[in-house]
Structure 1
């Protein structure tokens, strides 16, 4: 496997663990410059991407590359203007991913569409108990945009189909009214657009781009957290669209009230229309998704194989598709048949990986602090404000259940808390989890963030 094939293989694995928006934004123009002497140098288009990959995705990239380069010791990120080279020997992109990824990068500027994936339509969205409300609301909005459920706010964990659903709305509206101006953007793109507009004195162009939309679709709106200037601009954009009876659709990994450092007026507006959640799919939905996805990928899998995958890959749709990609890669490379025995062998390393291997107390605490929009010092400090005690008790619970830490050790990690305080906090969260659906969803999202 040469350096081009190595990077395309790595991208294939990264694509199924990241949101479409993040994958396209940060990995679209990357490639391997050099792969020698236990050092891999990754080419990136600018300093922003260089810092982002180094600080946010480095560990994930290292773990993936290490599987194919066991002696790998270091990864560096180098700014390069050269376009990424093409793979000539094996078209590994077609093996690891399908036409969706290519289509996802298309832009329809004539209709104001940014990155609307034509494969994201209602016909390809598998409906189950976990997403029925969100799907019904989305269908209603596409039928009467701006008149029903405005805004529509869809929330749920990583890889559960939020992006598919909101882009399906955009594609359906575009199909019914080709002249409609539909603008889709990840929240990070909106924020970067705003900063760029200020720096280059193009704020009027920015306002025209977003405020003249008939339908505005914003993915991962939780990234507005802490960005006061961007929140102010989005507030006025939101008002301009709503006052003109134009549709706003947002996705997030949590309910509006749980987005830390979000202004109260935005939170109330996000909650003012329809708020619908998408939960983890149940067994029947997972099996249906696997059948649909395997047909898309021309994989002829028996019912026993589908059942095995559905029983063992439970967290989200992206991991289900990742499992199919792994199977497809192996079958095409080795010209094999997808027997249950072979599929078990292919997925066993993936399923049996020690989840705690890459989880530390520090990562748990940072993840919880980021999720609830508080500082690390506040989380482990002595203040007993309600907004601090709750995340602190969740930290106690996760340190106990995910890392099996002793109560004194948990107390030490949390700034010297007494072990009786730790026991009380853990017990309280355990009892709440048994009856509080909001906490169950929050816990699910936090765990997903820990293990991606």
Structure 2
């Protein structure tokens, strides 16, 4: 039987597979392709410059042993790094890496085409080169533990955050999932953990990103055929913070790629921090294998702050802004705005602004006017489930009928109205709305919203439906 590049590489893989973790094998060796065999030099193709560097740094010894067993002491390994989308340049560049007597594979020479303008690693944050350019953490230094005040409503989450910041990847809180309603401080706490880690461990690579931006980067990577580089970029992060992970709902491709990134980070002792507006058990259209990993660590809830915590938050806010305010006014605001921290701080900012602009003294009467207006103008958070219930009740049908595949006109219109109001009253994405209302796609939701707008302006009866349901949802 003749010896070919493929047979030599297959034999190497058999040896490697028996000596490393299955996930590591799948991530770092399955994508490699044998290209050619010339005497004792085996050429293999790898997806990116970073991929080669990672192999050389982490798996050089096992590669040398495997190749030497097949081709002898003079064995050489030549990496061919296939550069996709190089603006018309079809040539790959190659890096020849011979074995050495010191037991490591060293770079011998690099032949890079002069017209190759593509960055070596396609960093989604457009930072050319990974080895010599710092990755910006995208963290907000204004969000710190110092200005995240502790109370009964957040003590577990804050304590877990401090433990993670002290020993990232080294606690049982991995992943740390922080969940709770709007404006309770999920993003603040996630940033605070990242900021603290950067202070304590400046050598660690920390990255904060929203789930929506992560998804968009993945879509761009798929379009440009850079999926592998996208994965490899995220696999080198030491502390990955993903905000609003519920936005991965219904996005199977993004969930799949995040699953592999998560596994790699977790297995290598890297820290993952997630935020969500709901607990894992309540997340819809997230794959079970991903949900099970969310539950590996700790899920810590942020609840509405109690009165004492609200007072402390307001006093801290005023102190940081250098503003003095009587205690009775602070307590009045704290007593009357109970929903979340964002609204609480918003009300106090409005009060200070009114006093400053109108040159009025801050009094209880002024506070009462501001708080009444603020509370009145603050929309109650309405869930997609609640909207479906209101619409179903209005049209005297059950929710299963509303979500069904039937094309009966009155049911279709009810479903379109539910989608329209979900877009109007919630911050959910079109894809998330569609997935929760009968497992439709985002294009169906977009069409429903346009249809409702059109019928509202041309059909008197339909306009009454919209007005009636709006009143019910605005109560």
Structure 2 distance, partners of 1:183, 1:200, is 23
Q: Do structure 1's residue 255 and structure 2's residue 255 form an aligned pair?
A: no
Partner of 1:364: 386
Structure 2 distance, partners of 1:140, 1:253, is 22
- Kindly state the Cα deviation for residue 200 of structure 1 after the two structures are TM-superposed: 2.0
- Kindly state the Cα deviation for residue 204 of structure 1 after the two structures are TM-superposed: 3.3
SS of aligned partner of 1:122: coil
236, 240, 247: which one aligns with 1:223? 247
Partner of 1:197: 221
When residues 363 and 258 of structure 1 are mapped into structure 2, their CA distance, relative to the original with a 3 A threshold, is closer
In the alignment, structure 2 segments of 5+ residues that lack a partner are 1-126, 392-397, 406-417, 419-472
Partner of 2:306: 282
Task: Give runs of aligned pairs for residues 180-329 of structure 1, distance below 5 A.
Answer: 180-329=204-353
Q: Do the aligned residues in 2 keep the contact of 1:121 with 1:164 (CA within 8 Å)?
A: yes
153, 172, 179: which one aligns with 1:155? 179
Structure 1 distance, partners of 2:221, 2:331, is 51
Partner of 2:147: 124
Structure 1 distance, partners of 2:379, 2:239, is 41
Q: Do structure 1's residue 378 and structure 2's residue 400 form an aligned pair?
A: yes
SS of aligned partner of 2:231: helix
Q: Do the aligned residues in 1 keep the contact of 2:198 with 2:204 (CA within 8 Å)?
A: yes
Structure 2 distance, partners of 1:275, 1:201, is 35
In the alignment, structure 1 segments of 5+ residues that lack a partner are 1-106, 370-375, 384-394, 396-449
- Kindly state the Cα deviation for residue 115 of structure 1 after the two structures are TM-superposed: 2.7
Offset from partner CA, 1:249-308 (integer Å, 9 cap, x none): 101111112110111110000001111111100000011001111222222111001100
Structure 2 distance, partners of 1:307, 1:367, is 37
- Kindly state the Cα deviation for residue 353 of structure 1 after the two structures are TM-superposed: 4.9
Structure 1 distance, partners of 2:389, 2:138, is 29
- Kindly state the Cα deviation for residue 228 of structure 1 after the two structures are TM-superposed: 0.4
356, 359, 362: which one aligns with 1:338? 362
When residues 342 and 173 of structure 1 are mapped into structure 2, their CA distance, relative to the original with a 3 A threshold, is same
- Kindly state the Cα deviation for residue 348 of structure 1 after the two structures are TM-superposed: 2.2
Q: Do the aligned residues in 2 keep the contact of 1:154 with 1:278 (CA within 8 Å)?
A: yes
Runs of 4+ in 1 over 6 A off after TM superposition: none
Offset from partner CA, 1:74-97 (integer Å, 9 cap, x none): xxxxxxxxxxxxxxxxxxxxxxxx
- When structure 1 is superposed on structure 2, of 312-321 and 197-206 the one drifting more is 197-206
Q: Do structure 1's residue 173 and structure 2's residue 208 form an aligned pair?
A: no
**Equivalenced residues, count:** 272
Partner of 1:139: 162
Flag the structure with larger Rg: 2
Q: Do the aligned residues in 2 keep the contact of 1:142 with 1:169 (CA within 8 Å)?
A: yes
Structure 1 distance, partners of 2:150, 2:390, is 31
Structure 2 distance, partners of 1:192, 1:319, is 30
Partner of 1:112: 135
SS of aligned partner of 1:124: coil
- Kindly state the Cα deviation for residue 335 of structure 1 after the two structures are TM-superposed: 2.7
Structure 1 distance, partners of 2:228, 2:390, is 38
- Kindly state the Cα deviation for residue 363 of structure 1 after the two structures are TM-superposed: 8.6
TM-score, normalised via structure 1 length: 0.56
Structure 2 distance, partners of 1:329, 1:366, is 39
Structure 2 distance, partners of 1:168, 1:314, is 24
- Kindly state the Cα deviation for residue 186 of structure 1 after the two structures are TM-superposed: 0.7
- Kindly state the Cα deviation for residue 364 of structure 1 after the two structures are TM-superposed: 3.4
- Kindly state the Cα deviation for residue 367 of structure 1 after the two structures are TM-superposed: 9.0
Q: Do the aligned residues in 2 keep the contact of 1:135 with 1:165 (CA within 8 Å)?
A: yes
SS of aligned partner of 1:337: coil
Q: Do the aligned residues in 2 keep the contact of 1:300 with 1:338 (CA within 8 Å)?
A: no
Q: Do the aligned residues in 2 keep the contact of 1:184 with 1:216 (CA within 8 Å)?
A: yes
SS of aligned partner of 1:128: coil
When residues 213 and 234 of structure 1 are mapped into structure 2, their CA distance, relative to the original with a 3 A threshold, is same
When residues 382 and 208 of structure 1 are mapped into structure 2, their CA distance, relative to the original with a 3 A threshold, is closer
Structure 2 distance, partners of 1:231, 1:261, is 10
Q: Do the aligned residues in 2 keep the contact of 1:111 with 1:180 (CA within 8 Å)?
A: no
Q: Do the aligned residues in 2 keep the contact of 1:194 with 1:206 (CA within 8 Å)?
A: yes
When residues 154 and 310 of structure 1 are mapped into structure 2, their CA distance, relative to the original with a 3 A threshold, is same
